[in-house]
Structure 1
Amino acid sequence: MNHVLSALAKHASWLPETLIRAVFSFAADAAWLLHIAGVRQLERNLRQVLQHRDGQVDRRTLRRSSRKAMHSYFMYFAEALTVGARSEQELLARIRGEGEGFASIQELCVESSAPIAMGHQGNWDYAGFWANTAIAPVTTVAERLKNEELLKVFVSIREELGMTILLTGEHGLIGQLEERLDEAHVIVPLLADRDLSRHGVFVNAFGSLMRVARGPATIALETGRPLYVFNMHREALDAAGRRVAGIKHGYVCTISGPIDPHPYEDMPKEEAITALSQAWVDIWSAKIEDHPEDWHMLQPVFIEDLDLARMHGVPENIDSISRTSAGPSGRM
């Protein structure tokens, strides 16, 4: 499969986009119908979101939502792997920006820079291309994949779209990002909605607890830069938009914030990082509830699905909550 994906990215212009989308749409339906492990986990995550939003969710609603989510997820791969065959005009017709923070970050980044917290939503390759044009050049971090060939493909795609890519595990990664933020006209968006390492921060979200990356809060606090929040969802394009974009659906990039880090500076460091992380998660999670089908989280993220006994650096108060929730049997 990795070889197929790599070949598709390298030769995207050889095949009609409608055919590629049809194949990925079929694959999404197949995975959904087979109810594979990733789909089951996706549904557990969606249930948490929908129950928090609506108070309850029946199986039919959950299955319908998970099918939409799988189509959104697979379309991301179809788009990301074939973005090299799209013209700049097509891409710009597929993406637009909005939100109370949009004008603010545009104005700020004329002469300054800003970090952005974001989650696994929509198509972050399209988002990076759009942000380069609409806001400022992007420097971001990509996960270091086990498959080197596929890693090179994704890094190459993002670099061709104008992004500067650093990899997880690089020495002094936070320092490199902070150096970039010292420059004018730069943004640093970071995928931060899941981090199960000892460095992750537990926050409240959707009536539960989840562990997010500390990077956005840490960078905002150490640089004094305002922290923005990014959400992304699909929308149907109008007739004029479809003609230029060449497809029926595009994306909305919503910028929220800014969150001023200065009120948190007098707190102890870990307390400040947790509080600022909670602040951006509160904003981000509210937008997730508006479009849960575009949140591509097929991995365990909520405390109910985590084995805290195998995790490092779990605060004592979180461990106590987990054990209380588990009850006498020791299982949640």
Structure 2
Amino acid sequence: MGEDLTSRLYGLAWRVTPRLPDPVAALVFGGIATGMRWSGAGGVRQLRVNLAQVLGQSVDSPAVTAAAGRGVHSYLRYWREFFGLTGWSRDRIRDTVVFESLDRVTAARAAGRGVVLALPHSGNWDLAGAGLVVHGHPFTTVAQRLRPEPLYQRFVSHRAALGVTVLPADETRRTVTTLAGRLRAGEVVCLVADRDTSGAGIGVRFCGAPTTFPAGPAQLALRTGAALLPVSVWYDGPRLRVRIHEEIVPAGDGATRVRVAAMTQALADVFTAAVRRHPHDWHVLQPVWAAAQPVRNQPVAL
């Protein structure tokens, strides 16, 4: 019953949101954000824990309280835009998404190389992807398989309508083979890379504390010769800014795992700087660091 209700709610949001005038949609999703703030529901307490680590402050500090308050509204803005994207024109996407150094992607592809774009869960990665497609760079990505299956397929078809190919994360061998083949063909792969859901990631220091990141971006770049380009994404008023950082170049020698570890730590360093610049736009409501501060189990007024 829970899965069925979830699927129905998502379906309702997909049907209704594109039909709402922007001010009305903003009011509705802003109201949901306010409810989450006051109740502490939907991972808001964990968001405070995560932001405490990012900012180097206590969970109950004014800085964390302010960042979490803005963060919940930024998170609901992501969902409002996500559900409404099917109603966006290419011109609207082009006007909303502002790229910095997109020429790095163009140059790598012009040289016959594939491109691995690795980014954190910041801003609106789906809107950023739609912008990438509009600028002539369709891409392939990977997503966890949701339950129930029709909901997962709805996410896949929604992104396909934007020009994005989604491969399932739970079919590891086939997915990795497909990604490698597309990179060797000079195509683009985008991977959200600030959470290790496999339990077999690479140890890194991220925002000053140890955790693990997925090894996939660095492994694929090494295996195929693709350019590994970190990406940071954040909201800037009505626009979304997407910065393509300099290529992370692997060391010329050493064991593969050592080289992958060094490249993954370099990614974590870029992500650390990006998340600390715009902490309220980092949408991770799940545990990231095992040693992060606990938060009191009570409603949180942000």
TM-score normalised according to structure 1 size: 0.81
Are 2:291 and 1:304 aligned? yes
Aligned equivalents of 2:42, 2:143: Cα separation in 1: 24
Aligned equivalents of 1:288, 1:203: Cα separation in 2: 15
Structure 2 residue matching 1:258: 3-state secondary structure: coil
Contact 1:225 1:260 in 2 (8 A): no
Report which stretch shifted further, 12-21 or 293-302: 12-21
Are 2:25 and 1:20 aligned? yes
Counterpart position of 1:322: none
Counterpart position of 1:222: 223
How far has the Cα of 1:135 moved from its partner?
5.3
For structure 2, the residue ranges without an aligned partner over 5 or more in a row are 1-5, 294-302
Counterpart position of 1:139: 140
Question: Where does 1:98-113 land on structure 2 (aligned, <5 Å)?
Answer: 98-99=100-101, 102-110=102-110, 111-113=112-114
Are 2:222 and 1:206 aligned? no
Are 2:167 and 1:180 aligned? no
Contact 1:6 1:149 in 2 (8 A): no
- The size of the alignment, in residue pairs, is 286
Question: Where does 1:227-266 land on structure 2 (aligned, <5 Å)?
Answer: 227-236=228-237, 249-261=238-250, 263-264=251-252, 266=253
* Equivalent of 1:278 in 265, 276, 282: 265
Higher relative contact order (CA 8 A, sep 6+): 2
% of aligned pairs identical?
31
Question: Where does 1:55-204 land on structure 2 (aligned, <5 Å)?
Answer: 59-99=61-101, 102-110=102-110, 111-134=112-135, 136-170=137-171, 171-184=173-186, 186-204=187-205
Report which stretch shifted further, 115-124 or 34-43: 34-43
TM-score normalised according to structure 2 size: 0.89
Contact 2:139 2:165 in 1 (8 A): yes
Aligned equivalents of 1:56, 1:46: Cα separation in 2: 9
Instruction: For 1:19, give the aligned amino acid.
Output: V
Counterpart position of 1:316: none
How far has the Cα of 1:36 moved from its partner?
2.8
Counterpart position of 2:14: 9
Larger Rg: 1
Provide closer, same or farther for how the CA distance between residues 56 and 41 of structure 1 changes in structure 2, counting only shifts above 3 A.
closer
Counterpart position of 1:30: 35
How far has the Cα of 1:37 moved from its partner?
6.2
Instruction: For 1:138, give the aligned amino acid.
Output: F
How far has the Cα of 1:90 moved from its partner?
1.4
Instruction: For 1:153, give the aligned amino acid.
Output: R
Instruction: For 2:169, give the aligned amino acid.
Output: T
Contact 1:50 1:57 in 2 (8 A): no
RMSD: 1.9
Aligned equivalents of 1:301, 1:20: Cα separation in 2: 31
Contact 2:140 2:164 in 1 (8 A): yes
For structure 1, the residue ranges without an aligned partner over 5 or more in a row are 237-248, 307-332
